[in-house]
Structure 1
Amino acid sequence: MGTTQSRGESEWKGPFSDEEYDRLVVVYQEITSGKSNAATQQALQERLTLPLHDDLPSEWREGLGRLGASFFELCLHSRELAGSSDTSTQLKLNDFVQGVAQCIRASSQAIYRSLFHLFVVDKKSAYLNEDEVHQLLLACLLMTNAQIADEEPRELVRMIKKLAESALPTTTGDSTRQLSMDEFLRWSSAQLPLMFSAFTTWISKCFLDSLARAAYNPPVLTHKSDILSKTQFGALSLIYTPLQKRMDRLYTNAKDGLSFNRLCYHILGYGGPTLIVIRDTDGDVFGMYCDTEWRETTKFYGGNGCFLFRVEPYINVYRVSASDANENYMYLNTKGFALPKGIGMGGTLNGFRLFLNEDFDDNCYSAAKCLSFEPGRLTKKDQFAMDAIEVWGCGGDESLQRQGQVRKDTAEMLDKMRKVDKAAFVGNDFDRSMFLGKTFGHGTDQARIADDEH
């Protein structure tokens, strides 16, 4: 088939550098080296292959097996978008370059449209059917971490079904469930706004090889989670960029004990954002992303990057309320007395959206709505008891080093305070005689006492 367009004939480099464009020309020549459109589509399929597992539904696997043909059609469609009157069914260089650009160098909305078109079998349809929604979500989750197809195939299926349930509009009777382009754009922007970045990164790697720019990085966990699967972490990473990096486990009740004091010890001083994940005794899994470092105070704090989320039995994300009715996002009080003692998010001091009390007992509670975050349930019951809780640090080495320095400074300060108290105590003849008797001896023995403290 060969290159059907010379480099001199109105080449379209678009948003690509010379080096990137030259690489795309090489790839184009490779995929069009056959003698038919079918051969070109097969060559595209080989580049766009995602790992699949036999435990995945066959209709989902079949959909991903059509990606080569779908991308071929997308490239021809980009010709129409560019206003070309060319009706040829042969893939030309400009078609290919424009098709790649629509997937990796366009606006997020345009990229989502390209993703949508890749999975619509009937190109004249304005809707994805339920199977096509499953196929799209499967592809995107595999783009975050290809290993989950082999490591967690059943968990992957469960997550896809939950995401699809969240995305597809409810219907009455026997109506077929379908997802329109506008509905897909609204849902993805609200629930998984960074899903497009996983798609662009994957397409870049498929066609630009070593020149690919990574718009998405999968989360790397320092420890295995006892609550969330890799698939669930992958889905959460499509919500917010700080979840697309190394995540340090700061606290887990399995190792550190189910204790409010221990939790506070492990999060205070950490100089970055944190992800708190909770499983209650009813099996609900939910949590909070906190964009500001934790500190003890009697007031709320935090920024509009905070959000609440639910993973089991449904998946939902509740962001900061658009009304800006209040900025009550994060709360931590270890001293109690007149104010609630515990850790909370949203709501008011009289009623939080989510609150973990100091006893971590069944008096922990969540509410369905507040003025701080979007409405929606976190737990089946208003009150719950915790079964497990983990805290993950998302701030990297700098945040860990800051926590280490805070702990060191605190230890040194406490040590100085103890020495000052002891020295004052030993220097008082009445207290020494009254409370210690002959323990320290008399007179010049005071110097020995001070030496013994070191």
Structure 2
Amino acid sequence: MGNAHKPVSKSKSLETEKLEIVFERVVASGKRAAGSLQKTTVSEEDYQNVFVGSKEFASLLFHHCLRSCHNLSTPHCLTKAEFINTMQPLFSAACSQTKDALYYLLFDIFSNGKDNINKEDLERLISECCILSLTVTLAADFNRCTETSLKQNDVFQAFQQSLMSNRDVVSFDELVDWLSVNAPDLFDGIQSWLQRALDSMKDTYYTVPQLKDLSQQFVDTRASLDTSVVWLLTTILPHCYTVLDTVLDKHQSSRSRAADTQVPVTSIPCFSLLYDSREQGHSLNRFEHHVFGYRGPTLLILKMEKGLTFVVAIDAEWRDSPAQWGDSNCLLLQMTPTWNVIDSGSKLLYYHCRSTGKHRGLIVGKDIESPVISTEDLNSASLKLSRKQLRQHDISILSVEVWGCGSAESADAQKEYRRWELRQIEKQRKVPLPGRWDDNPDKTLLELAGRTVDHAERPDL
């Protein structure tokens, strides 16, 4: 298939031992279903009973194993030896620190062994990645109705169409090249699911994340994020947005995993909605009130006319500054109508509303003289999405959302910041108003300097 290289096992004895345990589990499941004690092979139905979370993927995996056997001992079934021989490459790929082997096998499974994958099979691959990722994350079977909702989701459609790029099929190399830029962690969730299904002797890979009730978290259907879109964002966002602080501290995680560490990167964080212009209004003052003081990474989501949606990932605390700011994990992503990483890196943000200088408002893009997005009031924006494209002006902003991606401590820090603001306001209210002007010491100082302070005595009045 293409010019990819099949993975080679480096510890066959250990893998064989573990796969024997998996085989016995599969056989035991078949015995319970059939009421037989003489079962020595496994079938497609047995795969579906053991590889829980997706009967469709279990069937695809079974038929992949059948294709890998040149001479089956029993039609439509696998013996123990056949099971171990055909599952060893998948086991190695699932437990590998590199992604190439897993990419190859998933491509082969979903393309039915072909050199190219078509739109329908690619859509199925992405859907299964989402569903199995959420199955691992929620430690339960994810509702299969999500598969239907994904087909109706504008973000998922934009993702798939951008990957296909008006082609009927894509090759393995084309898929890998596109994912390396736009969704490098797409297969991490399905990798965790495979680890849990295959590596029954090593439970440390499968940490149950500390999640809130996701159905409550995204109960407002007007919001731009739902559970599946959050998962899709985790395939591109740096880990500081997607892994809880406690997990990061424990595993010393980064986007590149340490060689000796398995991090549960499918632990979807509890994003909290800090600001929604549909509720708080398109006001910079209200924006600052709800966003400033949050000491954690945030996602700014701008929905505009013409179906445009942008996500700005910000790894620094919001501030009003005459200089650009943001650290190395900032990211600008166009989410619809195409999925495209536009810019990333430090000094990606500019927010300054304290003066009426040359640059005012919110600016996104490293080139402040020709930014990607610029808005002075959160009501309309100017856009320049590429060097070749002319700047578009007066694009209406339909909604603005800011989601906090930090820990509970980040939210607590913002609450303390708001309490501090209230104390400052209260102090200002208690400052005594000035008395009679004639008794004001400022008047005496001005008169000593030779200034005329009584307007009736000024010759120019």
Q: Same fold (TM over 0.5)?
A: yes
Alignment check: 8 A CA contact 1:64 1:135 kept: no
Match of residue 119, structure 2, among 117, 120, 130 = 130
Query: Structure 1, residues 216-238: CA drift from partner, whole Å, max 9, x if none?
Result: 96895734352424332221122
Task: Determine the structure 1 residue equivalent to 2:361.
Answer: 342
Kindly state the Cα deviation for residue 151 of structure 1 after the two structures are TM-superposed: 5.1
C-alpha change, 1:119 and 1:149, in structure 2 (3 Å) is: same
Kindly state the Cα deviation for residue 274 of structure 1 after the two structures are TM-superposed: 0.7
Match of residue 379, structure 2, among 361, 364, 368 = 361
Task: Determine the structure 1 residue equivalent to 2:151.
Answer: 156
Residue type matched to 2:169 in 1? Q
Q: How does 1:238-253 map to 2 (within 5 A)?
A: 238-240=235-237, 241=239, 242-243=241-242, 244-253=268-277
- Distance in 2 separating the partners of 1:427 and 1:271: 45
Alignment check: 8 A CA contact 1:169 1:179 kept: no
1:400 matched to 2:407? The reply is no
Alignment check: 8 A CA contact 1:74 1:117 kept: no
Task: Report the secondary structure of 2:365's partner residue.
Answer: strand
Q: How does 1:92-241 map to 2 (within 5 A)?
A: 92-93=83-84, 96-121=87-112, 123=113, 125-145=114-134, 147=142, 149-150=144-145, 153-158=148-153, 159-171=155-167, 177-208=168-199, 211=203, 213-214=205-206, 220=214, 222-223=217-218, 224=220, 226-228=222-224, 229-240=226-237, 241=239
**Which stretch of the first structure deviates more once superposed, 271-280 or 399-408?**
399-408
Kindly state the Cα deviation for residue 392 of structure 1 after the two structures are TM-superposed: 0.2
Kindly state the Cα deviation for residue 264 of structure 1 after the two structures are TM-superposed: 1.4
Alignment check: 8 A CA contact 1:286 1:311 kept: yes
C-alpha change, 1:312 and 1:376, in structure 2 (3 Å) is: farther
Residue type matched to 1:48 in 2? F
- Distance in 1 separating the partners of 2:170 and 2:143: 26
Aligned residue pairs: how many? 376
Kindly state the Cα deviation for residue 329 of structure 1 after the two structures are TM-superposed: 0.2
C-alpha change, 1:107 and 1:51, in structure 2 (3 Å) is: closer
Kindly state the Cα deviation for residue 348 of structure 1 after the two structures are TM-superposed: 3.2
C-alpha change, 1:76 and 1:32, in structure 2 (3 Å) is: farther
Residue type matched to 1:300 in 2? Q
- Distance in 2 separating the partners of 1:98 and 1:402: 48
Residue type matched to 1:42 in 2? E
Kindly state the Cα deviation for residue 272 of structure 1 after the two structures are TM-superposed: 1.1
Task: Determine the structure 2 residue equivalent to 1:272.
Answer: 296
C-alpha change, 1:308 and 1:189, in structure 2 (3 Å) is: same
1:30 matched to 2:33? The reply is no
Kindly state the Cα deviation for residue 354 of structure 1 after the two structures are TM-superposed: 1.1
Kindly state the Cα deviation for residue 249 of structure 1 after the two structures are TM-superposed: 0.7
Kindly state the Cα deviation for residue 302 of structure 1 after the two structures are TM-superposed: 0.9
Kindly state the Cα deviation for residue 428 of structure 1 after the two structures are TM-superposed: 9.5
C-alpha change, 1:247 and 1:291, in structure 2 (3 Å) is: same
Task: Report the secondary structure of 2:319's partner residue.
Answer: coil
- Distance in 1 separating the partners of 2:158 and 2:305: 21
Alignment check: 8 A CA contact 1:44 1:72 kept: no
TM-score, L = length of structure 2? 0.70
Task: Report the secondary structure of 2:295's partner residue.
Answer: coil
C-alpha change, 1:393 and 1:203, in structure 2 (3 Å) is: same
C-alpha change, 1:412 and 1:345, in structure 2 (3 Å) is: same
C-alpha change, 1:274 and 1:11, in structure 2 (3 Å) is: closer
Alignment check: 8 A CA contact 1:273 1:293 kept: yes
- Distance in 1 separating the partners of 2:368 and 2:97: 45
Alignment check: 8 A CA contact 1:148 1:231 kept: no
Alignment check: 8 A CA contact 2:48 2:54 kept: no
Match of residue 351, structure 1, among 365, 370, 377 = 370
- Distance in 2 separating the partners of 1:144 and 1:426: 68
Kindly state the Cα deviation for residue 74 of structure 1 after the two structures are TM-superposed: 8.7
Alignment check: 8 A CA contact 1:192 1:239 kept: yes
Match of residue 299, structure 1, among 314, 323, 331 = 323
- Distance in 1 separating the partners of 2:150 and 2:90: 33
- Distance in 2 separating the partners of 1:366 and 1:308: 13
Task: Report the secondary structure of 2:290's partner residue.
Answer: helix
- Distance in 2 separating the partners of 1:11 and 1:201: 21
Unaligned runs of 5+ in 2: 1-10, 31-37, 71-78, 136-141, 243-267, 442-461
Residue type matched to 2:423 in 1? E
C-alpha change, 1:338 and 1:131, in structure 2 (3 Å) is: same
Kindly state the Cα deviation for residue 102 of structure 1 after the two structures are TM-superposed: 1.1
C-alpha change, 1:196 and 1:48, in structure 2 (3 Å) is: same
Residue type matched to 2:354 in 1? K
Task: Report the secondary structure of 1:233's partner residue.
Answer: helix
1:391 matched to 2:402? The reply is yes
Alignment check: 8 A CA contact 1:249 1:393 kept: yes
1:68 matched to 2:68? The reply is no
Query: Structure 1, residues 423-447: CA drift from partner, whole Å, max 9, x if none?
Result: x847999369xxxxxxxxxxxxxxx
Task: Determine the structure 2 residue equivalent to 1:445.
Answer: none
What is the percentage of aligned positions where both structures have the same residue? 19
- Distance in 1 separating the partners of 2:366 and 2:89: 48
C-alpha change, 1:169 and 1:354, in structure 2 (3 Å) is: closer
Alignment check: 8 A CA contact 1:75 1:91 kept: no
TM-score, L = length of structure 1? 0.71
**RMSD value, Cα:** 3.7
Residue type matched to 1:230 in 2? T
C-alpha change, 1:190 and 1:384, in structure 2 (3 Å) is: same
